[in-house]
A and B are shown apart, each in its own frame.
Chain A
Amino acid sequence: AQSVTQPDIHITVSEGASLELRCNYSYGATPYLFWYVQSPGQGLQLLLKYFSGDTLVQGIKGFEAEFKRSQSSFNLRKPSVHWSDAAEYFCAVAGGYQKVTFGTGTKLQVIP
């Protein structure tokens, strides 16, 4: 069965600092991987996705993620965090059409 682990429940970074959110997945075949962001009271918005090809994926809002098959990881990065990036971030893996398994999420706090 597919699964996703986000080891960091909560992360605090200073505005302007770099960010890396960790994600490890378990899936028997080549995974479809996603990162979503959820602001309070809102639904989820897709930041980026990986299916195949280039292992470094660029997304919206200046985010990127790198797929590392050997480490079963798909970590999300941003070189300089803005206060508006404060939200909860979810890593997800898809196995089968539209059946998506989400990680438990990482809450990002940005301090001035």
Chain B
Amino acid sequence: KAGVTQTPRYLIKTRGQQVTLSCSPISGHRSVSWYQQTPGQGLQFLFEYFSETQRNKGNFPGRFSGRQFSNSRSEMNVSTLELGDSALYLCASSLVILSSGGPFESDEQFFGPGTRLTVL
């Protein structure tokens, strides 16, 4: 089974530009979460999507946004890039099953290799 894939792996942008990162979850996984990893702030939760809806959001400005498509693939967008946005952006997917007996949410997140964004 293929793992979580993220594209592109590396990206260089300049201040003021915008960027879109893509994440394809493991087949059958319906929850996708995004994290930002920097040497200074560590790993920080950005947001989580399930069934095309954002369920959780971290403490990031509105320049950071995301969406999820019907096939569970997700994109995150950062507008008006700042130097401080340089980071490794990680995507993680998790299994969520909805059934008549109630929702089952897996406790494990599977991470992709990340997209390294450099803002000049």
Contact = CB atoms under 8 A, between A and B. Distances in A.
Given A99-B48, A101-B45, A32 B107 contact: yes
A45 interface: yes
Interface stretch (A16-24, A64-72, A90-98): A90-98
A27 to B, nearest CB: 15
19 contacts: A36-B111, A43-B4, A43-B92, A43-B111, A43-B113, A44-B90, A97-B31, A97-B50, A98-B31, A98-B55, A98-B92, A98-B109, A99-B33, A100-B33, A100-B45, A101-B45, A102-B42, A103-B42, A104-B42
B113 to A, nearest CB: 5
A90 B109 CA distance: 14
A90 B58 CA distance: 19
A99 B45 contact: yes
Interface in A58-112: 90, 94, 96-105
A28 interface: no
B108 A102 contact: no
A101 B35 CA distance: 10
SS of B interface (majority): strand
A97 B113 contact: no
Contact of B33 (A98, A101, A105): A98
Contact of A43 (B42, B50, B90, B94): B90
Give the top 6 A-B pairs by smallest Cβ distance, nearest first: A43-B111, A102-B43, A44-B111, A99-B56, A104-B42, A98-B48
Interface residues of A, number: 22
A41 B113 contact: yes
B86 to A, nearest CB: 16
A30 interface: no
Interface in B1-51: 4, 31, 33, 35, 42-45, 48, 50
A61 B56 CA distance: 32
Nearest to B55: A97
A64 B73 CA distance: 34
A46 B45 contact: no
B113 A42 contact: yes
